Amino acid sequence: MISIFQMIVLVFLIFVFTRVVFRFKDRQISILELLFWSALWISAGVLLFMPQITNPIARILNIGRGIDVAVYLGIILLFYLVFRLYVKIDTINQDLTKIVREIAVNKPNKDKRRK
């Protein structure tokens, strides 16, 4: 029997998974990114229906329940992704500044040579 919770999450997972595939087809993401995101969503699906498979890992790590391991890993992963996002935004900001600067420097209001 699958619960309503599992139903909803499953629909969500299928939806985001198709998004990943489409974005790969549109060449908006690389094959590496496709593999990464597919692995992430598929493992989330597996955990959704078989949370007990994480129990052995939990025992090794001394964490109560298997599903807690998944939650902890999820949080760590989220932190990492947010970090990556920050770095990326920083880089984009710097690139943006370069473009704005180039335009400004090449188009002064008053061309000095004419003076």
Partner 1 sequence: MHKVFIVIPAYKEENSISSVIKGLKKEGYKDIVVVDDCSPDSTSKKAEDAGAIVLKHIINRGQGASLRTGTDYALRHGAEIIVHFDADGQHNPKEIKDIIKPIIAGKADAALGSRFLGKRSNVPFTKKIVLKLGIMFTFIFSGVWLTDTHNGFRALSRDAAKRIEITQDRMAHASEIIDQIRKKRIRYTEVPVTITYTSYSIEKGQSAMNSIRIAARLIWSKYIR
Q: Which residues bind partner 1 (CB under 8 A)?
A: 86-87, 90, 93-94, 96-97, 100-101, 103-105, 107-110, 112
Nearer to partner 1, 27 or 110 (CB): 110
* Secondary structure, 3-state, the chain: CCCHHHHHHHHHHHHHHHHHHHHHHCCCCCHHHHHHHHHHHHHHHHHHHCHHHHHHHHHHHCCCCHHHHHHHHHHHHHHHHHHHHHHHHHHHHHHHHHHHHHHHHHCCCCCHHHC
Residue closer to partner 1, measured from CB, 18 or 91: 91
* Residue 30: CB minimum distance to partner 1, A: 23
Give least dist CB 81 to partner 1, A.
15
Closest to partner 1 by CB, 4 vs 104, is 104
Least separation, in Å, of the C-beta of 85 and partner 1? 12
